[in-house]
Structure formats: structure tokens, C-alpha cells
Structure 1
Amino acid sequence: MRRVPVPHTLALAALALVAACGWSGAADAGDERPPGAPTGVTAQAGSATSVHVMWNAVASTPGVHAYEIYRGTTKISEVPGSAHMVDVTRLRPSTTYVFTVRARDGDGRLGPSSREVRARTPAAVAADRSAPSRPARPTGRAAGSRAVQLSWGAAEDDRAVASYDIYQGTAKVHSVGGSQTAAVVTGLRPGTRYTFTIRARDAADNISPASTAVRLTTPGTDDGGDTAPTGFRVTTHRTDGAHYLDLSWVPPRADGVVTEYQIQLDRGQPTSLVWGGTPPKGRATHSFYIGREAGVDHRVRIRARLPDGTWGGFSAERTVTTGSGSGSKP
């Protein structure tokens, strides 16, 4: 079904799942065993009705296609094989839950369960509309070229702080329990400048203002060349007298699921595209209205917001002419 045309804008879909992710490493090419059990599994209550579950990526050949998340013996969620965290919602307050994670490869083989992890949701507080105070005096340091260690002063709340959410720019990249005032954020890029803030959350899902920013640069070098979408193509088609641009590309490999892009048309202000639901596993496509006049040249390129919250490199720029019936040119 085609989106309703909106001149020179892109449709912004509601983001149904936000998850930071990790790409699996390659195992022995001749190894056709099921994936191993996920390690490093943790579960932390985010509010009275939600728990944040995280795990390490599993190496497998063929690669991990999906992770299945279980509450007790019941499968409650499934995320793409590139993801390694999920927010489990619609839970009951004051309840202890047991979670496990299993990896499934592209041939459908299901690996063993991870170790069990437990999390207890805090009690619900009726009519609690008071947000916690902002976390105080955040500091940080690089912990190698792909991680940083952050710490902050505890926030105050009229009940209690249930969790702390860590943001890189506007992207949530990590979460820890309300009793913790430090975190290690991994999956970063070498030689990259980051800006982190922390927000406190209470059991009623009231969220504090952001802390002051912590600005850190990871050591090493990274030219960003491998962060750009590849295989970028642009074609044009005409429907009911209107011209549309049809984009397709291969998402960059990253330590996580890429859910947001910026599309730059004719070197103007980039426009955001956010996937609703789970992003495509392979080549992605998107179409948008461009106008009613034929014979107009347009230059287009695209870049991805990476799971660490930074923007990757732009793809190669393509030029296409409306009404030409041909594909893009370098």
C-alpha cells in the first residue's frame, strides 16, 4: 500500500520497538551446529510494569536469525538476530519474573536456553505524577576504543527511582537499576566523539529531566566509511500524474539494529525516516512523492543513525530524472 503523497516530505512511521543491538561474529565455516546459549543475560526492572532484558551476541554459522525471549516457559517476544536487548512490557507490579533467551539460526535450529535471570517489578504507586530530579554531576571516561564508563549522582524521588536510562544524543542506548549510579556502555566506534546524558525513571514511568551532558571521545581512528548504507539505488515512477522516487539500499553493518535514516534531497535539509516495527533484514526500500513535473533532476543520498546514537557516513549520491523511466546515475 502506497503512503499518502505529501510534497517534498517523507512519512514518519511510529517506532514500535527500540532496541540496541550487536552483530554476531562468524564461527567456523564448516560448523553447522545450532547456535550456542546467549551469555551475559541481565534483567532489570524499568518501572512497575516493565523489565529491560539484555544479552551478548552469539556467534553462529549460519548466522543468528532471531533471538527468542521467554518468561518462565512461555515465549513472549522475538527480536532480529542483530538485536541484544528488549523492553518487556505489560507486566504486573510487585512481581518477580524469570527470563531466558535462546538463539535461532537461519536454518531454523534453536539453540539452548541462556541461564535464568530474575527481576522484580516495584510496587505501583497510585496517582504518582512527580518525576525524579535530574541525575547529578555525571562524569565519564573512555574504557578502550569501543566502550565508556559513566557515573552520576543519585536522583531524588518522592517514592523511589526504579531505573536510569542512558542516552547518546537522543537515542536510548542502555538502562540500569535505580540502585546503580554507574554503567559501562559498549558497542561504540573508535575515534568518535559522544555526548551522553542520564535520566531517572520511577515506578510510575515518570521520567526526570536529562542530566548535564558528558562529552567523551573514544581513542583510535574510524573514517566512518564502513558505516554508510551500500548498494544505494534510486529510480522514479509516475502514478496518477505524480512522480515518486523509489529508494533501495543495504543497511550498514553495525553493533545493533538500524531503525532510523536521514534522506538528503538536492543537498537540502535531511528528512528523517523511522521504521515502524522491525526493520528489513536485507535490502530496504522506501518511496516518496517528489512533484508533478517531468524532466527534473534530483540528487539523493542516505545515512543511518547507528545504535550508538551517532550518524554514520552518507551513501554514494545518486542522480535521477523524473519521468525518465530509468534508474539513478552516479
Structure 2
Amino acid sequence: MRRIPTTAVAALGLLLAACSAKQPDTQSPPAPGGVTAQASSATSAHVMWGQAAESDGVTRYDVYRAGIRVKTVGATTTMVDIGGLKASTAYTFTVRALDAAGNASPPSSPVPVTLPAQVPDDHKAPTAPGSLRVRADGARAATLEWGAARDNVRVTSYDIYQGQSKIHTVGGNATAAHLTGLRPATVYTFTVRARDGADNASPPSPSADLTTGPAAGQGPSTEPTAFTATARTKDGERGVELAWTVPRTGGEVKEYQMYLDGRLTTTIAWGADAPQSRAAYRFVVQDKPGTRYAVKIRAQLPDGDWGTFSAERTVVVR
């Protein structure tokens, strides 16, 4: 039998190792799409863009003003406020996506925005937008419409909030917005605030709830419905009273998780006498009057998973 020289074996091993080694990632993500820029006030702008596909491996976004990077945000963020700008000035913004290997996408298409003039000594906020209406556009989108706010000078923009988080901004002449990227069979609670050129923000509009449609093959939504939260003092003890309609989950619901300001606070549990139609729960508060809470709940399903959140309610301690 012919023997292969040792040096040849070593060379072959090195060749195989080189071939099998993982090649470095040098492919850049695609440029972000759907980039928009909106004047938020006389000294700030709001930049938004479309979410990258999961397969693109994007880990962060860089926002540029006239080619100079001014903000970096994580992969789950698709909007940012840029402050410290000059009134009555035109700006151009672009966005680039980056992956874990540091590969940067080409810049997005540039979007221009011109900020309004500064109004000196304007300390008066706009009125709250009125009559907020919302409708689902399928399982992942929604359209909001509201009554125009009034201001002593001019409304510059409207900020749309989902719960306590700002998720969208439109111009001051708009009274509607289209939202995308929502989750199927999910309850959302929206409000709108108006802003003027001096960055004075209005009180929130009345809230409006929306349940998006189910995805294909998805079962019915499992959120507690008709959810209310009321601050009330009882026997000298300040508290918040919750009430809701028990969701239909295919079995008895004995436990709920309660979230305050986005954080899990307690588990509400019943024994053998769990409510079947309408449920109620009261919790005591120690914070001073005027403290504001955002509260929501979700039910434990028969399989042990947690269902969809209820609408989020804001309540002020009395």
C-alpha cells in the first residue's frame, strides 16, 4: 500500500480547514425604506422609517443629518426625535441599517424637512385633539382619525401614543394617520397629542381602543374586554378598582397578571369560585394624590400560557 507523505497530509488538512472555516459576513443590509421627516416644533424634527426584515439581520440604525450621524438606535426602534435644530431652517435626513458584523447599508433616500419659525414667549399649549376614532385595517394595520386641536399660533404636529409610548407623528394639518406593523388579535389603546412650534404639548385626546383581526389560522382573541380602572377612596383607604369581562379561553380563568406602567406588579388569583362573566379587583395605593398609573391585565389560558393584554387604562390617584 502506498503511503501519503506526512507533509502532504498536513497540507491537505490545512486546505480542508480553510475551506470549512466560516467565511466573514461582508453582505450589507438593504437601505431602509419608507423614511419620512416631520417638523415636531421650531427646533426639532421627527424621523421615521420602515422596519427591516428579520432575515436582514439588522442590529441598529444610524440617522444622518446632511451626511453627519446624529443618532443611533436599536433594531426594534424605527423612529427618533432630533432636537437642537434651528427654526426656519431646511434639513435633510437619511438612515442606514447595520448588522452584527458592522456592515452598513447604503443610505436611504434623503428626506427634506423645513422647520417653522420660532414664536417668542409662546407658553400656551394647544387644546387636546377631540373625538378620536380608530378602525382596524386587517390584522396588522389601523387608521386613526381625530378632531383638530386649536392653538394660539399654529399646531405644528400631532404625536400618536400607544399606551404611554409615542409611536408615530404627523403634520399639524393632518387629522388622520395610518399605522402598520401591529400584531394580530391584539388590543391597542391610542391617544393623540398636539404640539406647537414652541414645543408645547396638549393634553391627550380621549383614548380609543382597537382589537386587530386574527392572523390566518389564529384562534379568537383572548383579552379581557370592557376593562375599566377607577380611583376610589373606601373606608378612608385610597385604591384603584378594576373591572372586566372574563375572556372566553375554552376553560376557566383563575389567574390574571396585572401590569402598572408596563411592569408586572401582581398576580390576581381565584380559587374554586373564579368569576365566569364579570370580574372585579381592588388594590390599595400608597402614592400621593395626583399620581398617574397606566394599568392593564391579561389572563392565564388553560394551557398555562398568558393571553392577550386588555386595553390599557390611565387612572389618577385621588
The TM-score by the shorter chain falls in which range? Answer: 0.5 to 0.7
Q: Confirm whether residue 262 of structure 1 aligns to residue 259 of structure 2.
A: no
Pick from 143, 154, 178: which aligns with 1:160? Answer: 154
Q: Confirm whether residue 202 of structure 1 aligns to residue 196 of structure 2.
A: yes
Whole-angstrom distance in 2 between the partners of 1:159 and 1:312: 43
Pick from 72, 86, 89: which aligns with 2:80? Answer: 86
1:138 equivalent in structure 2: 132
Cα distance, 1:224 vs structure 2: 9.0
Question: What is the CA deviation profile of residues 186-228 of structure 1, one whole-angstrom value per residue up to 9, with x for unaligned ones?
Answer: 2222222222111110011111122122222211157899xxx
1:95 equivalent in structure 2: 89
Whole-angstrom distance in 2 between the partners of 1:265 and 1:195: 21
Q: Confirm whether residue 213 of structure 1 aligns to residue 207 of structure 2.
A: yes
1:52 equivalent in structure 2: 46
Q: Which structure carries more relative contact order (alpha carbon 8 Å, separation 6+)?
A: 1
Counting only pairs closer than 5 Å after superposition, residues 15-26 of structure 1 correspond to structure 2 as none
Q: 2:63·2:95 contact (CA, 8 Å) conserved in 1?
A: yes
Whole-angstrom distance in 2 between the partners of 1:140 and 1:88: 28
> Structure 1 residues 37, 312: CA separation in 2 closer, same or farther (over 3 Å shift)?
farther
Pick from 97, 100, 108: which aligns with 1:106? Answer: 100
> Structure 1 residues 195, 95: CA separation in 2 closer, same or farther (over 3 Å shift)?
same
Cα distance, 1:263 vs structure 2: 4.1
Cα distance, 1:33 vs structure 2: 1.9
Q: How many residues align?
A: 217
SS in 2 for 1:134: coil
Structure with bigger helix share is 2
Whole-angstrom distance in 1 between the partners of 2:298 and 2:182: 12
> Structure 1 residues 265, 191: CA separation in 2 closer, same or farther (over 3 Å shift)?
closer
Whole-angstrom distance in 1 between the partners of 2:298 and 2:102: 32
Counting only pairs closer than 5 Å after superposition, residues 144-293 of structure 1 correspond to structure 2 as 144-220=138-214, 221=218, 261-264=262-265
Whole-angstrom distance in 2 between the partners of 1:76 and 1:264: 37
1:18 equivalent in structure 2: none
Whole-angstrom distance in 1 between the partners of 2:84 and 2:27: 35
Percentage of identical aligned residues = 46
Deviates more, 1:132-141 or 1:98-107: 132-141
Pick from 28, 31, 41: which aligns with 1:34? Answer: 28
Q: 2:39·2:45 contact (CA, 8 Å) conserved in 1?
A: yes
Unaligned residue ranges in structure 2 (runs of 5+): 1-23, 223-260, 270-282, 284-293, 306-318
Whole-angstrom distance in 2 between the partners of 1:109 and 1:144: 35
2:19 equivalent in structure 1: none
> Structure 1 residues 265, 137: CA separation in 2 closer, same or farther (over 3 Å shift)?
closer
> Structure 1 residues 80, 310: CA separation in 2 closer, same or farther (over 3 Å shift)?
farther
Whole-angstrom distance in 1 between the partners of 2:146 and 2:267: 43
SS in 2 for 1:108: coil
2:275 equivalent in structure 1: none
Q: Which runs of 4+ in 1 moved over 4 A?
A: 221-225, 265-269, 309-314
- Give the aligned CA root-mean-square deviation in angstroms: 3.2
Q: Supply the AA of the counterpart residue of 1:88.
A: I
Question: What is the CA deviation profile of residues 138-189 of structure 1, one whole-angstrom value per residue up to 9, with x for unaligned ones?
Answer: 2221111111101112111111001001112222221111111110122222
Cα distance, 1:90 vs structure 2: 0.9
Whole-angstrom distance in 1 between the partners of 2:25 and 2:147: 48
The structure with the largest alpha-carbon Rg is 2
TM-score (norm 1): 0.59
TM-score (norm 2): 0.61
Q: Supply the AA of the counterpart residue of 1:168.
A: Q
> Structure 1 residues 39, 204: CA separation in 2 closer, same or farther (over 3 Å shift)?
same
> Structure 1 residues 57, 312: CA separation in 2 closer, same or farther (over 3 Å shift)?
farther
Whole-angstrom distance in 1 between the partners of 2:103 and 2:68: 18
Q: 1:34·1:60 contact (CA, 8 Å) conserved in 2?
A: no
Whole-angstrom distance in 2 between the partners of 1:139 and 1:58: 29
Unaligned residue ranges in structure 1 (runs of 5+): 1-29, 226-259, 270-304, 318-330
Q: Supply the AA of the counterpart residue of 2:159.
A: D
Whole-angstrom distance in 1 between the partners of 2:27 and 2:163: 40
Q: Supply the AA of the counterpart residue of 2:123.
A: R
